[in-house]
Amino acid sequence: MGFKRLFGVGETGDAIEVDTHILGPALPGGELRGEVLLRGGRRDTYIDYVDLHVHVRCTDHDGRQSTYEIDTHSAEPGRLTLRKGEERRLTFSQRLPWETPPSELGGRALGVALSVRSRITRGDGDDGIEVDEDLLHVSALPLHGALLDLFAEEGYLCDAAEVVEGDVPGTEQRLGIIQTFLLTGHVPGPDRPDALEVTFQTNAVGAMVHVRRAAPDERYWEDKPPARRFPAAHHEVGTVDWRPQVREVLSGPAWPADR
């Protein structure tokens, strides 16, 4: 649910209450649903529209923390006059991009910070004002969970995830960010990396799964060790056994430390 705050929008007499509520956790490619509660101030206030901006905290190529906008949704109805003391509920429902990074895996936080920022625009050249910010919980897809469970069976447990600016060369990508799941090895072996980075390039069909030796100090995809990859489809969850693919990735040729 949202954090309720009182904000002044415009002149003192135009001050209104804005309270945004997100209805339940979302999924990549799934519906983001919620409502915006507006309470009028001491005079009528015209509102052109209320936009909901989805943001994720990420790391840029210089190692600095920044905010990346994933998507924007509008609450309905737009273009309304909020009467003095009136209470109005606006709703929003729109699909998130499939590349939206999950912040939770099996109910456990991954350290990925997502938020929804509510912004009101009142027309007449108004650039809008940010009036509320709410945490957004995005659960990992069943496909993500099933594959990470198989890596856990092989001794690699997911400790956290991170989001960085960038793209995977030679692939189709809508967003300019990459999420990496960080896996630590708990079964030592001479040919096994101590830690892995797993990246899911997810779309409506499934995901291309990229697996590489962990290189946390490298920011650019091209500077990291080469990745091994295999595809997996959403509809295969529960019907296809990906153990052979996971084991082949882990037991293939010697893992290079760098390019």
For position 223, what pLDDT does the model report?
A: 86
Angle subtended at Cα 184 by Cα 183 and Cα 190, rounded to the nearest 5 degrees: 120
Q: What are the DSSP calls for 113-178, one per residue?
A: -EEEEEEEE-STT---EEEEEEE--BBPPHHHHHHHHHHHHTTEEEEEEEEEE---TTS--SSSEE
DSSP 103: S
Instruction: Give per-residue pLDDT as tens, 170-228.
Output: 888 899 999 999 999 988 677 788 899 999 999 999 999 999 999 888 878 888 889 99
What does the pLDDT average to over 72-90? 90
What does the alpha-carbon distance between residue 4 and residue 17 come to, in Å, rounded to a whole number?
9
pLDDT higher than 60, residue 8: no
Amino acid (1-letter code) at residue 230: F
Instruction: Give per-residue pLDDT as tens, 116-174.
Output: 998 888 766 566 677 788 899 999 999 999 999 999 999 999 999 999 999 998 888 89
Please tell me whether the peptide bond between 77 and the residue prior to it is cis, using omega within 30 degrees of 0.
yes
For position 124, what pLDDT does the model report?
A: 64
**pTM for the full predicted model:** 0.88
Q: What is the overall mean pLDDT for the chain?
A: 87
